[in-house]
Amino acid sequence: MIDSSPLSSLPPGYRAAVVGASGAIGGAVAAVLEADPNCAEALLFQRGGPLRIDIGDEASVAAAAEAAGEIDLLFIATGALHVEVAGQADRRPPEKALSQLDPVALAASFQVNAIGPALVIKHFAPRLPRQRRAILAALSARVGSIGDNRLGGWHGYRAAKAALNQILRGAAIELKRRRPLAVVAAVHPGTVESGLSRPFRPEGVSVEGVFSPDESAAKLLDVLNGLTPEQSGGFWDYAGREIPW
């Protein structure tokens, strides 16, 4: 095994798939994997490009999983705070109050933050090996924690990420029966310099505690590298701290 690998817990020549590789964090994770001498192949799935996927279309997800073949790592980096609503030119921002709840926007948030990733898990999880270590991780968010919610607001996004967490928890339980060495994790990347966080950061101001996508990706992969099968189904932040459900 190559000691310099950021994912030294995976076997030499491991194969990885990143879904949502065009995003800030997904792209940074992809760059780490492509530079890892221990990674034989990094499959980068996104809406555009040679490996296309549309997580809103199950046939597209199934075709992407078929093209992937067996993989040792699945990293799902999709998600959106500002959702696209059919027939509207501007993306809908997160709600600040219950009075702003809109059923169409809620459905759109669940589609991109929970349903789409669930379909990816459905079709890609069977591609994980049965008799050796494997990792399945998806970007969640601390605001998806019910126990940690002390501010309210952002109702649709919070609820959709909480739903994603439940799907990952259930997937971990099911996978353990046939893939006992697999690790499933919901991961919180911290506040990252990206299009998602930009509207909530002062323009042109360096804010302490805000990571670059590269920093966040490195931290998340380090956390995943250290998780054991006994910890499968957990919710972890970028520093390896468990987050309450």
Domain CATH number, residue 187: 3.40.50.720
Number of domains in the chain: 1
- Residue 227, domain member (yes or no): yes
Residue 125 near residue 175, CB atoms below 8 Å:
yes
- Residue 244, domain member (yes or no): no
- Residue 7, domain member (yes or no): no
- Residue 170, domain member (yes or no): yes
The structure's pTM equals: 0.92
pLDDT of 206 strictly over 50? no
Residue 13 near residue 40, CB atoms below 8 Å:
yes
- Residue 116, domain member (yes or no): yes
C-alpha–C-alpha distance, residues 39 and 111, integer Å: 31
Q: Around Cβ 164, how many Cβ atoms within 10 Å?
A: 27
Taking every pair of Cα atoms in the chain, the longest distance, rounded to a whole number of angstroms, is: 55
- Residue 245, domain member (yes or no): no
- Residue 40, domain member (yes or no): yes
Dig out the tokens for 205 from the structure. Answer: 């101001």
pLDDT in tens, 46-99: 998 899 999 999 999 999 999 999 999 999 999 999 987 765 656 778 999 999
Which residue range is the domain that position 48 belongs to? Answer: 14-237
**CA proximity to 224, closest of 210, 238, 244, 245:** 238
- Residue 104, domain member (yes or no): yes
Helix, strand, coil shares of the chain, percent, nearest 5, are 40, 20, 40
